[in-house]
Every structure is written in C-alpha cells, then in structure tokens.
Amino acid sequence: IQFDPDSKTHQQKHRRYRLYGALVLLVVAVVAVGVAIGVTSSGSDTKEIRRRGIREQASLIASFDELDDPADPYGQAVDWIIYRDELQLLPNDQYLLQRFLVAYFYFATSVDNDWNTCGPLDGRSSFCDYQGQRNYRWLSATPLCQWAGIRCDEEKFVRQLDLVGLGLNGPLPDGIFHLRNITYIALGDNALYGSIPELWYTLPLESLFLSSNRITGTMGDEIGQLQNLTSLNLDGNLLSGELPD
C-alpha cells in the first residue's frame, strides 16, 4: 500500500464541496419557505383589507352592532358578501352596496324559513322557474339583475322587485329604502307582517302591491307622501283606516 500525500487534500476538497452544496441547498430552502410565507401573508393581508373595506362600506347603511350580529339580516348579508359570494366584489365596486342590500332583503324575508322557490342554491340547480320564465336563484354567482323578480335600469340599478307568492316571510324590511331608484314593489301573496316602514314613503314608488299578507297598522296620510304612486293594492291584510282622497 502506497501513501499518497495529496489524498488527504483531495478528501478535504470533496468534503468542502459537499459542505458548500449543502449550504446552497439550505439557503434555497430557506428562501423558498420565506417566499411561501410571504405569499401566504400577502394573501391573508389582502383578504383582511377587503373584509375591512366591505364592512366600512356596509357601515354607511347599518351599524357595526348590526353587522356583527349573526342573527341580524345585515350581519348575515355582510357575512355572505365577504365569505360566500362567489363574485367576491371589492370595496370600491359601484354595485357592492346594492348587492349587500339585496342580500339583506333576502335574509330579512326568510326569517322563519327559506322561500318556496328561487331561494339560494343549497345544492340545487342555479335556475328556478318564476312567472313562466327561467331565472337565476337569489344569492347565485351572477349579477343580481339576473335574479328572479329583479328588474334593473340601463345602469344596472334595481328598479323593480316583483316577488309575488314566493313564500317571503318576516317583517317588511325597512332597509330597502336605500335602493333609491326603485319604482315598483310587488310582494303580494306572501307571509310578510308588521307595518309598512315609514322610510318606504321616501321612495319614488309608482306601484306598490302588498296584498294577501299579514300587514298591520293604519292607512293614513303617509300614503299620500308617495307622490309618484299610480297603482296600489293592500287588500287582504290587517290594516285599518281609509286611504286618503
């Protein structure tokens, strides 16, 4: 056996190369983990910014107490907008508050149970039949102007709510007075109750059909505030008093 005086040097070089290689791999791994954490953190930050922004916008309509209450229609609506609405609108979207309000209307009129038809998906088809036409269900992943019973103007703002006989239930929701372009409301043949919200009398309504519900209160001069009103049907309710001349 011959002794090579350079063999030790070669072995040390190989060990150094292996060490350098291991260090390079470690650095690459650390950088990759850092990038992954950064991406995750960035994604989480973006979601939190969106959540806060939507809540700030919604607070222009409802209080934070209402938005924080999971049993309140406003709270249910903002939760749906933030976490479950597949459109995932951003806080600066011009249609965000309208979508929030229409979602609020659904939750406010399904207090005791879901609508008979055209309510949210829950595993069913995206479509429902209403008034002999095929429509998208409420809270579906489509622009709300395509939902059953909603008609919009050319600028895609709600003008009509026509939801006769769909099984709506609960007190008449006062919050829809924020839909400032609405001129037509038809909610007859449902299970709505309570009095007509005073804020409704500030709307530019031309037609109001609330027949065959359980609406209470006194018909008085408030109806006269609807200066654009040309059609009215309140039959089949528990109202007292007479309409003004």
What is the per-residue pLDDT for 3?
42
- Residues 179-193 as b/e (b if ≥16 CB within 10 A, e otherwise) read beebbbbbbbbbbbb
What predicted TM-score, i.e. pTM, was given to this entire model? 0.82
What is the per-residue pLDDT for 44?
85
Q: For residue 168, what are its two tokens?
A: 């709506």
What is the per-residue pLDDT for 223?
87
Low-confidence stretches of the chain (pLDDT < 50) are 1-3, 35, 39
Strand segments (E) across the chain: 127-130, 133-136, 150-152, 158-162, 169-171, 184-186, 191-194, 207-209, 214-219, 231-233, 238-241
What is the per-residue pLDDT for 43?
72
What is the per-residue pLDDT for 62?
98
Residue 116 and residue 118: Cα distance in Å, rounded?
7
The torsion defined by the Cα of 96, 102, 103 and 104, in degrees rounded to 10, comes to 110
Largest CA distance in the chain: 125
What is the per-residue pLDDT for 122?
64
Alpha helices in 109-228, H assignment, sequence order: none
In degrees and rounded to multiples of 5, residue 38 shows phi and psi of -65, -45
What is the per-residue pLDDT for 224?
86
Residue 83 and residue 81: Cα distance in Å, rounded?
6
What is the per-residue pLDDT for 93?
97
Beta-carbon count within 10 A of 69 CB? 14
